[in-house]
Copies of this chain bind each other. A is one copy, B any other.
């Protein structure tokens, strides 16, 4: 699977110099925009060179090895090309063309035909009706239609969040949103109709991928619920999944897009619960939540201490925390006493109201008191950005969170655009709303809790095994007696 993201040579089948040719945009990306070093060939009717990529009329004419074929020809000629790839010994194909099982009976037949050829030659196919892969590390990108400025801005930096996405439109939103995020994408894969490679295969691969710390998914359907669950169960990395089709109307709309089966959404819901996959409620959570995993230690308990200098947020966040299944930490008289010694604090019981102004020293003392307290598992700070010092204090808080091994989901009470601006400028993991911050704590705790439970179950199994072994040893002893 790794070769899909790190091919040494590629052929783009269907890339030509005709106007509006989509294959040509792939050649352009790989040859002109990307520092990708491998050979790139084009296959078209005239055998013409496309954006500096040597052209051939037939796949079998290409000299040298070809690791990966990208097919973006009209659906009806795709089976023929897949066969050529098989004959040429190419083991990996990305089929970006549409017009397969998402597009009526004719398309379904074509997709079945491709599947038959694939099996005969032992190939792996991604798609059809997809964008294929983006690897931000080597900047290999086989998406069609990418413009120079998008390539440069979106694919500039490499990060640690990988995406399995069943739609090109969502890829754009995620990459665009990462422009002002503290996290960036590692690998992105658009799997389309999933005739062969499906979400479970990709989870399995990304689990082994060193760069990937969090796996995120946008799905319009699930190919094999059991396979998905069995593979996801083995994964220790957080998996966040958004799936369309909670309603009959949603299922119907998705079907016309990427041709899924009319899955029962409950099957997916249960598969997620049993395998520790966190189902998210909106596309924005796919890019806003991962930073709680990459930039903060896990939330190991439910007790949250909240502090603010905008009193209103005490009530708002208390409601949100409790509704999310978390708890307002109960601060003992000793902790409250320690807090009140730090300065002129309005209210030292949780939610803590810091009052309008505060020194850096007071901030640091409050961080230490709360993070070191055995009454507190995590923080929900809502500091107003009334002074540049507050930004410095937030930066110190992030460091202290790692020292103490407890997370903080930080929300600064401002208009979203201002928060985004500050997050981008100072590279601090800010959330744009109290809802988002609480949700981040919730998913952090759920992820931690699931794996703790799994470990406990494993320990019990191991213990029972040992018990049985000692039983049988005892049996042997008795028999031997």
Contact = CB atoms under 8 A, between A and B. Distances in A.
A87 to B, nearest CB: 33
Interface stretch (A117-125, A336-344, A409-417, A450-458): A409-417
Contacts of A353: 256-257
B312 A282 contact: no
Contact of A415 (B176, B319, B351): B176
Contacts of A323: 246-247
B435 A282 contact: yes
A323 B281 CA distance: 12
Contacts of A282: 433-435
Contacts of A416: 177, 284, 416-417, 420, 432
Contacts of A384: 169, 172
Contacts of A314: 253-254, 256-257
A250 interface: yes
Contacts of A145: 356
Given A176-B415, A253-B351, A244 B312 contact: yes
B415 A257 contact: no
Nearest to A382: B169
Q: Among the interface residues A245, A311, A413, which one has the most CB atoms of the partner chain B within 10 A? A: A311
A316 B353 CA distance: 39
A315 interface: yes
Given A218-B312, A244-B316, A310-B169, A415 B253 contact: no
Q: Among the interface residues A218, A253, A353, A433, which one has the most CB atoms of the partner chain B within 10 A? A: A253
Nearest to A166: B312
B250 A322 contact: yes
Contact of A172 (B254, B318, B328, B413): B413
A474 to B, nearest CB: 54
A116 to B, nearest CB: 27
Q: Among the interface residues A169, A220, A351, which one has the most CB atoms of the partner chain B within 10 A? A: A169
Given A256-B311, A282-B434, A283-B434, 19 more contacts: A167-B310, A168-B310, A172-B414, A173-B413, A173-B415, A177-B415, A177-B416, A218-B312, A244-B319, A245-B315, A250-B322, A251-B315, A253-B318, A253-B351, A254-B314, A257-B312, A257-B314, A416-B420, A416-B432
9 contacts: A169-B310, A244-B319, A245-B319, A247-B322, A249-B321, A250-B316, A256-B314, A257-B312, A417-B417
